A = this chain, B = another copy of it.
Amino acid sequence: MSVIIAGKIDAIMPHLFILSKDSEEYRSILESSSLPELIIESELTEECEIIFGAPSSIRDVLDKLPNLRWVQSMWAGVEPLLDPSLRKDYILTNARGVFGGLMSEYVIGYLLAYERKIFQRADSQKNKVWDKTLTGSLRGKTVGLLGVGSIGADVAQAAKFFGMTVRGFTRESESSEHVDSYFHGGQLLDFVTGLDYLVSILPNTEETQKIVDAGVLNALPSHALFINVGRGSAVDESALLEALNQKKISGAVLDVFEQEPLPKKHPFWETPNLAMTFHTSAPSLPKDIANVFIENYRFYMEGKPLKYQVNFERGY
């Protein structure tokens, strides 16, 4: 039953709970943004209809929220909430639009480190060798993006800025103007043939499991570099290990792994031409992620469609 207080209907004053190790920082950002009507609870109560937090934590409280209407994930990846055993009777939105810039910096940074021989030059300096080896360039190279959502579109734009040709592999969408040619479904091997760089930005879904397998790695030129900034599950790690050890490809840069943190005994730690970055490519910075919530909250209060809704069927 709705109770009218000072001209407002209590039912439309939504109760929010923030579920994150950085709750205090988020609360302080939201409080200073004077969001209309919002009640930020300091404990999880049955009244909460909005949860803003980390999917791995939200998963454990889903059945304590009879009034749940909307979950805003602080991450791009929402796998913990997709488990078939979990309820899906709410709107799930993820964090998008904030990682593209960081991911572009990461991808361009490691491509340049590779072409510019940044590690080799550091070794030459150590050995006091005036190393005039010619550097490579991004200009004229061809990059293939496995997955072209909002992050992929930003990476595509950065690749175009540096004069690359950009191929995109997607389920069906062809929405980025910065992708020169799109590939879908059965065209995976055509997509990778002749690439200088293969970059996976794929989420973890049933369809993306081990999509980067021996077949894909064998189809790449031997000078190709592989970068994974999506999810570790998209890669057949044994096949990648073999491709690197047998020099079927030139190198790999991995931000994500099947198991994280990577077990100490995993051979990746010592695989030649493999650089790893410990899932740091695009950190969720509270000020960025809070802005996603704030924008969506305004839509929520106006009864408009929320941005970045996750389709529970597709998983992204």
Contact = CB atoms under 8 A, between A and B. Distances in A.
Contacts of A132: 278-280
Contacts of A40: none
A280 B119 CA distance: 14
Please tell me how many copies of the chain the complex holds.
2
Contacts of A139: 101, 105
A118 B128 contact: no
Contacts of A128: 264, 269
Given A101-B139, A276-B121, A276-B125, A261 B109 contact: no
A299 interface: no
Contact of A134 (B116, B134, B280): B280
Given A121-B276, A134-B283, 12 more contacts: A106-B135, A109-B113, A109-B115, A119-B122, A121-B280, A124-B278, A125-B269, A131-B278, A132-B279, A132-B280, A133-B280, A158-B161
Interface of A: 101-102, 105-106, 108-110, 112-113, 115-116, 118-119, 121-122, 124-125, 128, 130-135, 137-139, 158, 161-163, 260-262, 264, 269, 275-281, 283
A154 to B, nearest CB: 11
A113 B113 contact: yes
Contacts of A281: 135
A257 to B, nearest CB: 10
Nearest to A281: B135
A199 to B, nearest CB: 15
A138 B105 contact: yes
A105 B138 CA distance: 8
A112 B105 contact: yes
A161 to B, nearest CB: 5
A105 B162 contact: yes
A131 B262 CA distance: 11
B112 A278 contact: no
Query: 10 closest A-B pairs (Cβ-Cβ)?
Result: A109-B112, A130-B261, A109-B116, A128-B269, A131-B278, A130-B278, A121-B277, A125-B276, A135-B280, A161-B161
B122 A275 contact: yes
